Amino acid sequence: MLMLINCSGCRTPLQLPHGATSIRCALCQAVTHVADPRSVPPPSPNAVAPPPGPTGPWGQPPPPPAHGNKRAVICGISYRNSRHELKGCINDAKCMKYMLMNRFHFPESSIIMLTEEERDPYKIPTKQNIRMAMYWLVQGCQPGDSLVFHYSGHGSQQRNYTGDEADGYDETLCPLDFETQGMIVDDEINTALVRPLPHGVRLHAIIDACHSGTVLDLSFLCRMNRSGQYMWEDHRPRSGVWKGTSGGEAISFSGCDDDQTSADTAALSKITSTGAMTFCFIQAIERSQGMMTYGSILNSMRAAIRSTGDSMGGGPVTSLISMLLTGGSAGGGLRQEPQLTSNDMFDVYAKPFSL
């Protein structure tokens, strides 16, 4: 049996193997020591259960059924009552949950929602709660499992000094409290979600944010032109740092390239504000006929955004940097191009898509 404990340094949940008395955190390198569980006497039948600890509701996921387990973390951040406010991100989160449950049969009990509308303080999309949710998602995953991480909110970039980014910048996600607690950097996302994936486990990330093309630091990016022709670009770090999985599969759809911004707009749904990428991703799946492939979904998303951008001629973009500089939204229409990245190369028109 595996036990979940908090790192003594950064408080990240760690999975302690059976019989182990210490574990090193991959993020902060702190060593956390625990008492040998075999030396702890069983609790008295009349013992009172202790109150929830600092990990809140983040327990170990239940054992997967024989056919494989489905789990998802959905994060939508509106930055309500701030100058960074977005209108469509919570709508994105609700739509994604509905699709996962009704189209791909994810159990509601296996979906963690992080939005400002949640009443549970551990489900507010703060930096610590998003970190804990990412680690919960991969805890105890086994062959046959399907994992989904969806994020709709601000994304940004910061200078990289280790030499493992081709453009010199790390991509980041902006939690609700990023102004005081900082952003979540792509290196940490890769460590939390990608590297632990064992053989037979598949992770899909759907990232609707600015500068999100390579935000999972996956090794290969599918560079596709407007006619649908593509080639894989090698984004493995020149430093040789390992960014792959532990035998599993990680694939990410993102809202735009690393140097682009993503739209928060009502121009697509005609009803309410949504993230352009999330709307087009769900629409591509709902409108698909026959076998869905990664290439057909990516093409459909790009075509929908191009047609909307050409027709609207301008609109709000959720560029964090431009909003910080101007104190509001910047114009320019929909000029984003959704991206596909993976830990390995494959034929995007032959590989069936499923969650």
Q: Tokens 């102004």 — which residue?
A: 179
Residues with catalytic annotation?
Answer: 154, 210
Residues 6+ apart with CB under 8 A from 339: 212, 213, 214, 221, 222, 252, 253, 254, 255, 256, 257
Take residue 107 and report the two structure tokens written for it.
């159990």
Task: Please give the pLDDT value at position 249.
Answer: 97
Question: Each residue's pLDDT tens digit in the chain (355 positions)?
Answer: 446 677 776 566 666 666 777 777 655 567 888 765 444 455 455 544 444 444 455 555 555 454 469 999 999 999 988 888 888 888 889 999 999 999 999 999 999 999 999 999 999 999 999 999 999 999 989 999 999 999 999 988 877 767 666 666 788 999 999 999 999 999 899 999 999 999 999 999 999 988 776 889 999 999 999 888 999 999 888 888 888 999 999 999 987 765 655 554 444 444 445 567 888 899 999 988 888 999 999 999 888 888 765 554 433 333 333 333 233 333 444 567 888 999 999 999 999 999 9
Cα–Cα distances in angstroms (integers) from residue 55 to residues 6, 136, 218, in the given order: 7, 11, 29
Task: Please give the pLDDT value at position 33.
Answer: 81
Q: Return the DSSP state at 165.
A: -
Q: Return the DSSP state at 317.
A: B
Residue 322 phi, psi (nearest 5): -65, -35
Task: Please give the pLDDT value at position 157.
Answer: 81
Count of residues making up the chain? 355
Take residue 312 and report the two structure tokens written for it.
């609207």
CA angle 93, 318, 84 (to 5 degrees): 85
Task: Please give the pLDDT value at position 207.
Answer: 92
Task: Please give the pLDDT value at position 244.
Answer: 93
* Ramachandran bin of 333, using left for φ above 0, alpha for ψ from -120 to 50, beta for the remaining angles: left
Partners of residue 185 on adjacent β-strands: 172
> Long-range contact list for 229-232, CB < 8 A, 24+ apart?
230/295, 230/348, 232/345
Cα–Cα distances in angstroms (integers) from residue 113 to residues 31, 118, 220, 285, in the given order: 31, 8, 29, 21
Partners of residue 209 on adjacent β-strands: none
Take residue 208 and report the two structure tokens written for it.
């609707």
> For the whole model, what pTM was predicted?
0.75
> H or E segment at 224?
strand 220-224
Task: Please give the pLDDT value at position 50.
Answer: 41
Q: Quote the crossing angle between the two packed helices 276-286 and 89-102, to the nearest 10°.
A: 20
